[in-house]
Each structure stands twice: as structure tokens, then as C-alpha cells.
Structure 1
Amino acid sequence: MPIKLIVLDLDGTLLKNRWKVHPKNLVAIQKTQDKGIKVIIATGRAPSSTIDIAKACLIHEQTGHIICYNGGNIIDITKENKMDILYEKSLSTEQIQAIIKFANDNNLAIWGYSTDNKTGLINRSSLRVKIMENFNHLPSKQIDETTTEGMYKILLFCKKKKQVNPILEKLNDIKDLELATSSHSVIEINPLGVNKATAVQFLCKKWGIKADEVLACGDGMNDYKLIQWVKYGIAMKNGHPNLKLAAYDVTTKNTCGGVAKAIDKYVFPISEFD
């Protein structure tokens, strides 16, 4: 079947650095949309650091949808200066309080994405908090284990890579969490069932698109279920080893325009990019 939808992760995939879409990827996306093929972004990021990138790719004028917080928000961005949230699911107060207590007990910093979409919620000040503020264009607010603030997703920062697996094991004591890693020492926490695969399935049902009509590109383990679900699940060469094992194919690095190469291979004949 022909591909009708392309789903793209941002960091380590579509972007060549934190903010810039690789020029080859931009050309490929625009050609794809000109052919009537839908393109969406599916990221762990907040809307505040995603929408401008989507607009740079003209996604707001074409498909007009983005997936943020690994599926915690599905957003229609076709309207000027307005976000229509089509789907949202946040962590429960009990889960949030348990995660903060867990972080404090294990001497770990957190960054929580508030359900107001305007604030980062933290348990302590740190260099990583400052980085997250700049990265997301969001101010932070310190909270404790008694907080009732709502959160779509929490990042838990391990100090060393070797801490990740033991911390993941311990987190299983907190019920109904969706756990993934997006970098060597960051654990992403969502409510159970919230992931990029279920978010894309929501949109596919809305648009009448089947799994074997979808191409998806990603690099991290928060892309794993999505890469498994679609027919054309493409891992980046710079991606996690386990993701590459699960992928339909492996493309080149994000810094070399790997998304464009995947689109070239599976959507268009080579001649269209000459």
C-alpha cells in the first residue's frame, strides 16, 4: 500500500541540532506534503518548543497536527495563535506525589510538564533545570511531595547511565506508569498507555489510515512502540541499539538528513530529489 502518513520524532531525528531542521529533511517534507501525504511530529517535547518547528515545515498549513509529551497531548495547530487539544491524559495526583517522593529518596532531580502548558515543575534547582527552562522556553516552579499540580509527563534525571536500569526497576513499584528512556540518563514517565504509538493510532483512526500506510522515524526508546506498530518503522543510525533491532530499516544519522533519505527510499523515486 502507498504511504499516507509520515510521523517524525524531533531530537536526534528530524533536527540536526536542538532547533534546526536539516535542510534536506525540510525539502523532503515539503515535497511529501505537496503530494498530499500527511506529515506530523511526535515528540516528548512540550508544545512551546514544538510548534515553531512544525510551522517551519509548514505542517500547520497542511496536516496541522502535532503529538507532544510522548502522546500526552494531541494538538491541532491549524488555527492562528490557538491550540486545539484533541486528546490529553495526565498523571494522577497520587502518581505525581509518589514520583517526587521517589526522586527525593534517590537524590534525583525531576522536570514535570505542567498541564497548564506554561510551567516546568521541579523538586530542586540544578544545571539540568536551567537547561530545561531554556530548552522549553518555560519558567520553572519548585514543588514538594504534597503538590496537587497536574502534570502530563515527568522527566527523571539519573546522574549516571548505569543508574537507569536499576531506577527503572524500582519505578515499577509505582502503579500504572509508562516508562521510556530518551537519552542515556533520562527516564520519561507518562501515564500507562500514553505513548507515541497510541497517539498515532488515535489520528490514524480519525483519518482512516492503516498501520501499513505509515512511515515513522525515531532514535530513542520513547519511539520503540511506534516503530514496532507501523509497517515502515525507520530508526536513525544514531539511534538506540534496541530501537535499530526492532526497526524495519535503519537510515543515516540526523546530522546527515536521515529523514530525507528514508522518505527518498520509501515515498519518492530518486529522480524526484535530483
Structure 2
Amino acid sequence: MANQMGKYRLLALDLDGTLLNDRSEISETNAKWVKHAVDAGVTVCVSTGRGFVSALPFAEQLGLDTPMITVNGGEIWTKPHAIHRRTLLDSEKVMKLHALAEKYGEVWFWAYTTEDIYNKERWVGDTFSRNWLKFGYYTEDTDILSEILKEIQAWDGLEISNSSPYNIEINPQGVSKATALMEVCRLLGYDMSEVVAVGDSMNDIAAIRASGLGVAMGNAQDEVKAAANVVTGSNQEHGVAQVIQNYVLRS
């Protein structure tokens, strides 16, 4: 049977600010066009900073049984519930990151373990008894945010990004949505040139640069737009559906 697809075989979609609107929903228009892409044989891969548990409902809503990238690439799933690879964040580093968060009283922080999510309101007694994946800071005080950023940029072994202008996300060095996408391509026998990666934040930049077509959302941070090949509509304008219509199913 002739290949109905164009040159792109994998569509990697960020969730917040990308596939999801500002109410954290997948619009009917986005859902419809994702289904068209799947029906045409495109592999649709959820690629998010979220943990598996909070990403899963969206993959299920779309009926996806394909690879997933969660916690910015800290976890790669061959399909929902089937873990392929985890990269842990050293407990000692988590302790240091937590101590830094405590130094700034008003900053919100959170962290994922393989089992759970902890935050400012609920922290663990013993950091070393958990398997950590990611740590994050959030504050709308950008001066404090850049102080924290400056501090942790001086530390070794961390991959630093964000998923909004008001947060900092920390994974183990070398862990990103880009390296995870490369691994997904290796699993599926695809080339990175056959990938369309769509996102809006700093945690999407490496993947956008590494993919055959890197797409920034209309609501993306400026640096993300600068790194992308094309800019699509915002997450309130079904930007993902536009990508599928204009590039994935067009070529």
C-alpha cells in the first residue's frame, strides 16, 4: 500500500501552552486533527514536563498507544504504562535545590519522584529514600527567579530549562525532550528529520532545533520562536491543528 504520509512520521506535542488551551483542555479542533494524523499513520508522541500521572489522561483522551516523554525526558515510555527508560536526579542535588528554595520563603517549588509529586506544602522527611526525576521553582518575582538561576547555573550535572517565564525546571544533565525524542526515534526506526516538534517554552527549544520541523506556538517565549522553523497559532487558536493541516498532512 502506498505511504499516505508526507515526509514527517512523528509528531511530538508538548501539553501545557501547546496542545492544551488555557483551561488545560484539548480543544475539539485539536483532538479532531490529531486523530486525522494518527489515521494517516503518523506517530503522535506526548512530550511534556508533566509527570506520567498528570500526562496520561490526555494521551488516553486521544486514544494514543504510542511512546510518551514525561518530566522533560526524565522518563521515556514505549507506550502508556510501559516504561522504557528513567534518568534519576541525584538525591544530594535535590537536597541542595530544596535548601535553596527554602532560602527564598515566597518561592513555590515542587519535585517529582518516580512515585509521587512533592511541593512546598508537602515535602519528604528523607530526601535519600526517594528516586527523584525533576525539581522546579516558581515565582512571578523575576528578580528572585534570576538569582536562583544564577546560583544553580554554577552547579555541575544539571539540565536547566523552564515551562513558563515564571519557572525553572531542573533535570539531570543531558536529559531533555530532544535526547528523549532521539531515543524514541531509535526505538521506532525513524530519523530526526522525520520529526515535527511543537512547543512553547525553553524545555522545548532543544527538541525544536533537533527536529526536521521545529514549530513554536504563537504564545511561545521569544527565544523559542527564534529557534523554530515556523510559528503556528497560539494554544487558544488550535495552533496544533494548524500544524497538522499545514505541514504534517500537507507534505
1:236 aligns with 2:234: no
Match of 1:147 among 124, 127, 142: 127
Amino acid at match of 2:43: K
Shift of 1:120: 1.9
Shift of 1:18: 4.1
- Equivalent in the alignment of 2:54: 49
- Equivalent in the alignment of 1:67: 69
Counterpart secondary structure, 1:11: helix
Structure 1: gaps spanning 5 or more residues? 126-140
Q: Once the two structures are aligned, what percentage of the paired residues are identical?
A: 32
Match of 1:106 among 104, 110, 125: 104
Shift of 1:17: 3.2
- Equivalent in the alignment of 1:32: 37
Amino acid at match of 2:103: D
Q: Write the distance in 2 (CA, Å) between the matches of 1:261 and 1:159.
A: 31
Q: Cα RMSD over matched residues?
A: 1.7
- Equivalent in the alignment of 2:12: 7
Native 8 Å contact 1:11 1:18 kept in 2:
no
Q: TM-score, normalised by structure 1?
A: 0.84
**TM alignment of 1:1-274, pairs within 5 A:** 2-60=7-65, 64-77=66-79, 83-107=81-105, 108-116=107-115, 119-122=116-119, 124-125=120-121, 141-143=122-124, 147-148=127-128, 149-269=130-250
Shift of 1:106: 3.1
Shift of 1:87: 0.7
Shift of 1:65: 1.6
Counterpart secondary structure, 2:134: strand
- Equivalent in the alignment of 1:129: none
Amino acid at match of 1:237: G
Q: TM-score, normalised by structure 2?
A: 0.92
Amino acid at match of 2:118: L
Q: Write the distance in 2 (CA, Å) between the matches of 1:217 and 1:269.
A: 16
Amino acid at match of 1:182: S
Amino acid at match of 1:205: R
Counterpart secondary structure, 2:100: helix
Counterpart secondary structure, 2:18: helix
Counterpart secondary structure, 1:13: helix
Shift of 1:19: 3.4
Counterpart secondary structure, 1:256: coil
Native 8 Å contact 1:231 1:248 kept in 2:
no
List per-residue Cα deviations over 1:65-93 (Å, max 9, x = no partner): 21100001112335xxxx11101011111
